[in-house]
Amino acid sequence: MPLPNINPTTTNSWKKLQEHYNKINNSHMKDLFAQDSERANKFTIKWDDFYVDFSKNRITEETFKYLLELASEVKLKEAIESQFSGEKINKTEGRAVLHTALRAPKDAEFYVDGVNVMPEIYQVKQKIETFTNEVVNGERKGFTGKSFTDIVNIGIGGSDLGPAMVVESLQYYKNHLTTHFVSNVDGDHVNEVIKKLNPETTLFVVVSKTFTTQETLSNANTLKKWFLKSATEDAIAKHFVAVSTNIESVKNFGIDKNNIFPMWDWVGGRFSLWSAVGLSISLAVGYTNFDSLLKGANKMDEHFKTEDFKTNIPVVLALISVWYNNFFKAESEAVIGYSQYLNQFATYLQQGIMESNGKSVDRNGNPIDYETGTLIWGEPGTNSQHAFFQLIHQGTKLIPADFIGFVKSLHGNQDHQDKLTSNFLAQTEALLNGKTEVEVIAEGTEKSIIPFKVFKGNKPTNTIFINKLTPESLGKLIAMYEHKIFVQGIIWNIFSYDQFGVELGKQLASKILQEFNSTSVNNHDSSTNNLLNYYKG
């Protein structure tokens, strides 16, 4: 069954939501809490080690009812089934979307073109496990017989952001290997990494689904050249491995066929960390932890697939986000992790969310006249409190925010954990309630200063409180956002799994690169001509 194709704005629930919005958009959440002592309980989902409180949103039971109706009117249930059953829901690229198969148990069945892909997935997982163990245990050696100390992941976009974010988030679980990430085509990036490497003990993991990406191939070639200053060609087989669907090009690059970890076209780049793209994760934290990450994601998949929508975490978060995006016209959402380990989480989500849902043509190919993908941004709390929170609290823009926190700290420093958690809880409370003029006056504030110290409050937040940051809970958290992306794409009637918007710039860059060799360039707009000629000198 192809994806349903319904303009959300033509549904009854959308119309009801619009009328309802006109009635309640000025209500203050403070009053909603005062009117209903059960509000927090009604709008909280407890699932596994997740406690998701979405009561601090500008919603009522009526809003929630209409949002759930919207999910059913756009046939979300059917769309979820289409995705999990391996249909080619990535229609514009003619591909299935089955990152969920990568984290499913061995006896699960996922079919692509009538073939169950699980045996192949498990063959590659076995290869990842064996390889990881050999490197971590020191059995695999470099060209001078020394064990590896450093891993360099060479990739960009989904072949970098996912592994980099997970390795950073799971630092606590890391082994003795040092992992580096080279992504930018800026030569300063690769050269800074080179400064830290010893060719005898470094393993290079070249990750590129297509193996055509300029940045990755340039960096891989530079690192290969640098490596060959100390080693001979035959040493490449010991030090370079690749993850790709493009086996021929990997071989042409000079990588031994036994060192290729395959992936499949039904895994989108930004959803690929669960595949061999996650090899650097497995190397950094060990295969058992990598597998726990996948198991966590699988638990979230099951929850998403089977849970009733009103207690389905990704569905509820997606609906609330649509409410702000399309009715309140909020342009962006912040994601604030109260854990320093999550410092790359928002950057990672930017690709997932903005590359997937930054679309302006619907599933019929027609231009859209409603808002789609939100801007996503964020930094860890408490640092962000001292940076951009002023604007969230007192600025003119509405910025719904997800607050992610953990009940237990990893190092067990309770003093720090209590301080961190008090901030985590205080911020969402402050955003909800604000501070009235009466309260400001009661603090003895000088009259002329009063308006500056008033906080309107009524700023929406979701609190995602997780017991502890573990590979498994991180897997659940990432999968939660993946499914949120899917749900929003279905509601907005767009294709979430292509990314044609990144192509034009790539094409023009390759044209401009060639023009650096010509004497004078005048075939662009005058601004680009001037800039180009300025660069050429």
Binding ligand F6P by CB under 6 A: which of 99, 209, 299, 476?
209
Binding ligand F6P by CB under 6 A: which of 90, 213, 321, 344?
213
Shortest Cβ 277–ligand F6P spacing (Å): 8
Q: Give CA–CA dist 248/246, Å, rounded.
A: 6
DSSP state of 207: E
Closest residue by Cα to residue 181 from 294, 280, 296: 280
Q: Give CA–CA dist 297/194, Å, rounded.
A: 34
Contact between 493 and ligand F6P (CB under 6 A)? no
Integer CA distances (angstroms), 156 to 49, 292, 298, 356, in order: 32, 25, 25, 16
- Which of the following is catalytic: 106, 386, 411, 447? 386
Shortest Cβ 102–ligand F6P spacing (Å): 15
Contact between 300 and ligand F6P (CB under 6 A)? no
In DSSP terms, 47 is beta-bridged to 50
- String marking each residue 352-371 x if it binds ligand F6P according to CB under 6 A: ---x----------------
506 as an active site residue: the answer is yes
Task: Pick between residue 277 and residue 330 the one whose CB is nearest to ligand F6P.
Answer: 277
CB atoms inside a 10 Å sphere around CB 308: 8
Contact between 405 and ligand F6P (CB under 6 A)? no
355 as an active site residue: the answer is yes
> Taking contact as CB under 6 A, which single stretch among the options 190-198, 207-215, 366-374, 423-431 is the one that binds ligand F6P?
207-215
Shortest Cβ 90–ligand F6P spacing (Å): 12
Task: Pick between residue 142 and residue 162 the one whose CB is nearest to ligand F6P.
Answer: 162
- Which of the following is catalytic: 196, 397, 456, 506? 506
Helix and strand counts by DSSP (H, E) for the chain: 23, 13
CB 435 within 8 A of CB 455: yes
Contact between 462 and ligand F6P (CB under 6 A)? no
CB 74 within 8 A of CB 4: yes
Beta-strand relationship, 115-116 and 150-154: unpaired
Binding ligand F6P by CB under 6 A: which of 90, 216, 357, 433?
216
- Which of the following is catalytic: 73, 215, 355, 379? 355
Contact between 169 and ligand F6P (CB under 6 A)? no
Residue with token string 């892909």: 117
Q: Which long-range contacts (CB under 8 A, 24 or more apart) does 233-240 make?
A: 235/142, 235/143, 238/140, 238/141, 238/142, 238/143, 239/142, 239/143, 239/199, 239/202, 239/203, 239/204, 240/204, 240/206
Binding ligand F6P by CB under 6 A: which of 199, 269, 314, 381?
269
> Which three-class secondary structure state does DSSP give residue 322?
helix
Task: Pick between residue 249 and residue 332 the one whose CB is nearest to ligand F6P.
Answer: 249
Contact between 157 and ligand F6P (CB under 6 A)? yes
28 as an active site residue: the answer is no
In DSSP terms, 291 is beta-bridged to none
Binding ligand F6P by CB under 6 A: which of 88, 95, 270, 476?
270
Contact between 158 and ligand F6P (CB under 6 A)? yes
By CB under 6 A, the count of residues binding ligand F6P is 14
Q: Give CA–CA dist 254/233, Å, rounded.
A: 9
Contact between 90 and ligand F6P (CB under 6 A)? no
Q: Give CA–CA dist 101/300, Å, rounded.
A: 13
Task: Pick between residue 158 and residue 199 the one whose CB is nearest to ligand F6P.
Answer: 158
Which residues are near ligand F6P by CB under 6 A? 156-159, 208-210, 213, 216, 269-270, 355, 499, 502
- Catalytic positions, please? 355, 386, 506
